[in-house]
Amino acid sequence: MNPFLCFVLQAWNPSSCQVSSMETSRFLRDYAVWEINAFLWISLITITYFLSYKLFKLFKLWNQACKIPGPPSPSFYGYFTTLSKQNLTEVLSDSHEEYGSIVKLWLSPKQLLVSIKEPEIIKEMLLKAKDKLPLTGKAFNLAFGRSTLFASSFDKVESRRESLASELNVRLLDRANLIATKAVDHIMAELHQNMTKGSINCKMTSQHMAFTLLGATIFGDTFLAWLKSTIYEELLMMVAKDACFWASYSVIPFWKQGFWRYRRLCTELKWLTQDLVQQCSKYRQYRHMEPSANLGMEAGVFLQDNISLQEINGRHNVRDESCGNIMSLLFHGCLTTGGLINNMLMRLVTHPEIQHKIYSEIIMAKKGSEDKAQPVVEKMPLLWATIYESARVMPAGPLLQRCSLKHDLRLKSGVIVPAGAILVVPMQLVQTDDSSWGNDAGKFNPYRFLSKTEKTSASPNMDASIAELKDQRKCTFVLKDPNKNPAFLPFGSGARACVGQKFVTQGVATLFASLLEQYEVRLRSGSKTNSKPSTNYSMSQDFLSSELVFARRNN
Ligand code: HEM
């Protein structure tokens, strides 16, 4: 019988008054022992259940993973140690060659990576797997605070993605030319100034151009007039650089001074973002404007329409989330757009014949246009083809990554990828694969995105973005839709595809139309670079950070 129950029954018995104090203390000791035993048993059962569940999941993972082809693990710790010495894309390239279009790689006994190289299966996977790796969301969260655009779970980002996509692709696209032209004028003025110093660094300049283009898009004129933009750009890049490192700690490293220094930088960045948002709101109130009535979106999509400055100051949740979204978007946009601009500049200096043809195209398009001040980028197919080809040969990142956090992923081919496994698409392998791109897949050739036609008038089948060019031989080139090739993935695809694709390509086209009309871009003599960079899997840093000269044209 329960000792506590015995004690209560004895308490009803009058003779129990003579129970000695010794018996009472023995009873209390027994009772304590009983309670401790019960607690230990419950803990043991819970821990055993928890461990068995984990073990069951591990066996299930191993069992499901056995059916996916791939190289055996080099050690108990998987490929993790090997990958620090060898490039992951090279390892995946060898594995795909040996094991086919879907391969697995053990990163650790619990961490399975599945790589897919076949374009049709990739499309299917990118549609079905809607979550991103938890580490990515954690890094964004640590650096920029709560964000509803780059979180790992799809449920958290779905609605904000939609509102941003409609803002960028519906409301702003009509005015994308105008926004880019304003930003480009600003960039060109800075470029004129910098050229007095001689050459400029390609990588830094590209990043700055991307930052200005995006800032003007989100904040409009206010951004272009904002005095703190230079310090903001530096701080944004500093914060972004170390985000993954600090996020990789599973416990916050509060004992490290470096971590607190990093947190201070993050706070400073947030204050600056708030300052910029407030400048925008003041400007809007002063001009009695609707959000987005100015050139850019005036942070309207983030701040939600009709929120006044006082409200913004009072509603911390709205402000924190909006700031997180603005900072993460600026970071993602700057890094990717800067990379694309950098890559394009370098391709143009190493392929002067293409630069020359784009210049002829710009002059011809301008001659046929009524508005001489606005570059008519729709009439420049070679320029668009160069953008797509640059994005193809050197994508913004080596991998597209996804995961399905809750459910196993069943592919039509019969392969089942267990929940929680890391799914990756090796971008350089897919985008330079001979079977999708032909024998010259490794070469930079923008003409692969153009088809020749003898007709000089526009075909009725052309879509809006398709334009035509008459070159010296009077033949016409028509731009193909790059997204028709399932192996074209610089902006991803499926549920988490980039929402900025249309907008950013329009902006970059406007930027280069103005830039190449006014300048011929050359490598500074003596600047070190491969004259024809190859698309090997490790990008050449020499190639990416060369010194350039912008020589003014005599138009
Ligand atoms: C050259 C420039 C850019 C490139 C190459 C690029 C590329 C990408 C890629 C590869 C992804 C992941 C797609 C996937 O996993 O399927 C992505 C996501 C995203 N991009 Fe971009 N991007 C660029 C510029 C921009 C710009 C300018 C914006 C907005 C102004 C933007 C907004 C986004 C957003 C919001 C996501 C996150 C989608 C999500 O996680 O659900 N991107 N981008």
- Ligand 1 center–CA 504 separation, angstroms: 10
**Cβ–Cβ under 8 Å, residues 104 and 65:** yes
Using the mean position of ligand 1's atoms as its centre, give its distance from the Cα of residue 332 in Å. 7
Say what the pLDDT of residue 318 is.
46
pLDDT in tens, 115-142: 999 999 999 999 999 999 888 888 888 8
Q: Which atom of ligand 1 is nearest to the CA of 164?
A: 35
Per-residue confidence (pLDDT) for residue 236, from 0 to 100: 92
Binding-site residues, in ranges, read 498
The pLDDT assigned to 470 comes to 47
Task: Compute the distance between CA of residue 273 and CA of residue 457 in angstroms, rounded to an integer.
Answer: 49
Q: State residue 545's pLDDT score.
A: 65
Nearest to 538 by CA among 530, 547, 527, 526: 530
Average pLDDT over residues 377-401: 93
Residue type, 285: Q
Pairing verdict, β 476-479 and 450-453: antiparallel
State the chain's mean pLDDT as an integer.
Answer: 81
Ligand 1 centroid to Cα of residue 8, in Å, is 70
Least confident range of 27-36, 114-123, 163-172:
163-172
pTM for this one? 0.82
Annotated binding site for heme: 498
Given this model, what pLDDT does residue 3 score?
54
Residue to probe by mutation, ligand 1, list 388, 498, 499, most atoms within 8 Å of CB: 498
Which residue, judged by its Cα, is nearest atom 20 of ligand 1?
Answer: 498
Span from the CA of 122 to the centroid of ligand 1 (angstroms): 17
The CATH code for residues 147-396+434-486+490-552 is 1.10.630.10
Residue 304's pLDDT band, with cuts at 50, 70 and 90, is: very low
pLDDT at residue 1, as a whole number: 52
Give the distance (Å) from ligand 1 centre to CA of residue 430. Answer: 18
pLDDT band at 448 (very low <50, low <70, confident <90, very high): very high
User: Closest ligand 1 atom to the C-alpha of 494?
Assistant: 16
Evaluate whether 235 touches 243 at the Cβ level (below 8 Å): no
pLDDT (mean) for 275-285: 76
| Banded model confidence at residue 285, pLDDT cuts 50, 70, 90 | low
Q: What percentage of the chain exceeds 90 in pLDDT?
A: 37
Q: Using a 6 Å CB cutoff, which residues line ligand 1?
A: 126, 132, 149-150, 157, 161, 164, 168, 214, 329, 332-333, 336-337, 340, 396, 400, 490-494, 496-500, 504
Question: What band does 165 get if pLDDT is binned at 50, 70 and 90?
Answer: confident
The DSSP code for 370 is: S
Q: Where are the domains of the chain?
A: 147-396+434-486+490-552
Q: Are 200 and 547 in contact (CB under 8 A)?
A: yes
